[in-house]
Amino acid sequence: MLMNAYQRFPVTFVRGKGPFLYSDQNVEYIDCVSGIAVNCLGHAHPVMVAAAKEQSEKLFHISNLYHNDAQTALAQKLIRNSFHQQVFFCNSGTEANELAVKIARKYGHKTAPTKSKILYMKDSFHGRSTGALAITGQQKYQEPFRPLMGDVVECEFNNVEMAKALVNDDFCGIFIEPVQGESGIRAATPEFLQTLRDLADQHDALLVFDEIQCGMGRMGTLFAYQQLDVVPDVVTLAKALGGGVPIAACLTKDKANDVIVPGDHGSTYGGNPFVCAIANAVLTELVDHGVVAAVKERGSYTQKKLNLLRVRYPFIQEIRGTGLLLGIKFDESVVKSSDVVKAAFENRLLLVGAGDNVVRFFPPLNVTLDHIDVMVSRLEQVLETLVPQA
Ligand SMILES: *Cc1c(COP(=O)(O)O)cnc(C)c1O
């Protein structure tokens, strides 16, 4: 019936509340996946429910041939809270990156028809369309689908000298996740980000930050770049932007503004009133009601607890990340991250793996310390069963 695209766990969820999910057998699970960094307010948050109800009685959808007040309000709120000036709304992270590619290409073509190269990072993840996939530095995803979009060049993540050697005036864009999510919660060094900023300036290319996973408060600031001292020309958002409804955004500033003109790009659903009304409610909760401001403290509490597990279980090699963008790196010769995720599932704790033998620890951003205690102690029970027998 369904295309065989996903390997799924043997469970059907029918409802959720806060950090809990309930199966069709009414079994309670605690959710430390959050839809892969989407459900930033947990499940069935009252402000989202209220916004959905209210908007559904007014307007679900109109074409982007017309203005809609929910979209305008969301754009204003995002701009007010960022260093950027223009927004385009679309429906998924992949699409936001696809637009960022088009903006970089068109920007380059203003100077020269040959200024079309894009630098991307090894082990990056930017999405599954043939454009976004072309700048996703992972063979396993690209191989079956070649040829992909051309004129793209791979750089090792955090390799300053390599980036300097590669970038020249033929480049129109440089793409990076400030913290690589899918490949294992690996942070770019400040030196590397500054190098990319300098290279983009020297060669008149656009620096694009993909903050689809690390942005929207998960690191303790609404945007990751706000704590990195480097401001990108373009930033892409999705996942937690809608808190669970499909919405994404591509934001531009200064030289990246006004590249797109009528006829260049579009999206039937992009930024429709229904999703924007809900995203607005989410953003209000995140920014105005203190959810993001509390992430640092909740994050350091969680990191402390996870580090205690690391001391106790030496097959944990490292606790990675900032705020609540956390990864637990396991010693590959002892424990496979997929086995941790599986054993956790059997203990009704939902976790998701990442590359580099890492398990992501992604509670909702409004999680309470009590719920973190439950998550960590359940994880501890799981780890106890995975201790190698001497
Ligand atoms: C999830 C993700 C994407 C893709 O987003 P979709 O909404 O699945 O298209 C792109 N970049 C990063 C960093 C992501 O984590």
Confirm whether 284 is domain-assigned: yes
Residue 201 lies in a domain: yes
Categorize the per-residue pLDDT at 33 as very low, low, confident or very high, splitting at 50, 70 and 90.
Answer: very high
Give distance in angstroms: CA of 182 to centre of ligand 1.
9
- The confidence score (pLDDT) of residue 323 equals 98
In three-state secondary structure terms, 320 is: strand
Binding pocket residue ranges, ligand 1, CB within 6 Å: 92-94, 97, 125-127, 177, 181-182, 210, 212-213, 238-239
Residue 230: pLDDT band by 50, 70, 90 thresholds?
A: very high
Count the domains in the chain: 1
Annotated binding-site positions for N(2)-acetyl-L-ornithine: 128, 267
Substitution site in 6, 90, 94 for ligand 1 pocket (most atoms within 8 Å of beta carbon): 94
Annotated binding site for pyridoxal 5'-phosphate: 93-94, 125, 210-213, 268
Q: How many residues does the chain have?
A: 390
Phi and psi at residue 204, to the nearest 5°: 50, 50
Interval between CA 342 and ligand 1 midpoint (Å) = 23
Residue nearest atom 11 in ligand 1 by C-alpha distance: 126
Condensed to tens digits (0 to 9), the pLDDT of residues 46-79 reads: 999 999 999 999 999 999 999 999 999 999 999 9
For residue range 264-287, what is the model confidence (pLDDT) as tens digits? Answer: 999 999 999 999 999 999 999 999
Q: Binding site, residues?
A: 93-94, 125, 128, 210-213, 267-268
Q: What is the mean pLDDT of residues 358-387?
A: 98
Distance (angstroms) between ligand 1 centre and the Cα of 327 equals: 17
* Predicted confidence band of residue 22 (pLDDT cuts 50, 70, 90): very high
Q: How far is the CA of 1 from the centre of ligand 1 (A)?
A: 26
User: At 152, is the secondary structure helix, strand, or coil?
Assistant: strand
Please count the other Cβ atoms lying within 10 Å of the Cβ belonging to residue 293.
Answer: 15
- Counting from 1 in the atom list of ligand 1, the atom nearest the Cα of 91 is 7
The encoded tokens of residue 235 equal 């930033």
Which atom of ligand 1 is least distant from the CA of 36?
Answer: 1
CA angle 9, 37, 192 (to 5 degrees): 125
Mutate to test the pocket of ligand 1, among 130, 211, 213 (most ligand atoms within 8 A of CB): 213
Q: Per the domain annotation, does 310 fall within a domain?
A: no
- Pairing state between β 349-350 and 325-330: unpaired
Nearest protein CA to atom 8 of ligand 1, as residue: 93
pLDDT digits (tens, 9 = 90+) for 113-171: 999 999 999 999 999 999 999 999 999 999 999 999 999 999 999 999 999 999 999 99
Q: What is the CATH number of the domain that holds 106?
A: 3.40.640.10
Strand-pair category, 349-350 with 28-31: parallel
pLDDT at position 36: 98
**pLDDT value at position 308?**
98
Q: What average pLDDT is seen over the chain?
A: 98
Residue 389 is predicted with a pLDDT of: 83
Residue reference for tokens 């916004």: 51
354 located within any domain: no
How far away, in angstroms, is 209 Cα from ligand 1 center? 12
| Protein residue with least CA distance to atom 10, ligand 1 | 126
Has residue 3 been placed in a domain? no
| Residue 345: per-residue pLDDT | 98
Average pLDDT over residues 308-337: 98
Cα of 321 from ligand 1 centre, angstroms: 18
269 in any annotated domain = yes
Q: Residue 12 falls within a domain, yes or no?
A: no
Q: 372 C-alpha vs ligand 1 centroid, how far in Å?
A: 25
Ligand 1 atom nearest to 213, measured from its CA: 15
CA dihedral 364, 58, 63, 237 (to 10 degrees): -10
In a domain, 300, yes or no: no
Q: How far apart are CA 343 and CA 217, in angstroms?
A: 29
Range of the domain at 190: 46-288
Ligand 1 atom 6, closest CA: 93
Q: Whose CA is nearest to atom 5 of ligand 1?
A: 93
- CA of 197 from ligand 1 middle (Å) equals 23
What is the reported pLDDT for 233? Answer: 98
Give the sign of the dihedral formed by CA 214, CA 179, CA 166, CA 140: negative
What are the pLDDT digits (tens) for 283-315? 999 999 999 999 999 999 999 999 999 999 999
Percent of the chain with pLDDT over 70: 100
Report d(CA 171, CA 152) in Å as an integer: 9
- Best residue for ligand 1 mutational test, from 98, 177, 212, 267 (most atoms within 8 Å of Cβ): 212
Give the residue among 157, 161, 173, 158 at the shortest CA–CA distance from 124.
157
Rounded to the nearest angstrom, the distance between the alpha carbon of 127 and the centre of ligand 1 is 5
- Asked whether residue 390 carries a pLDDT value surpassing 90, the answer given is no
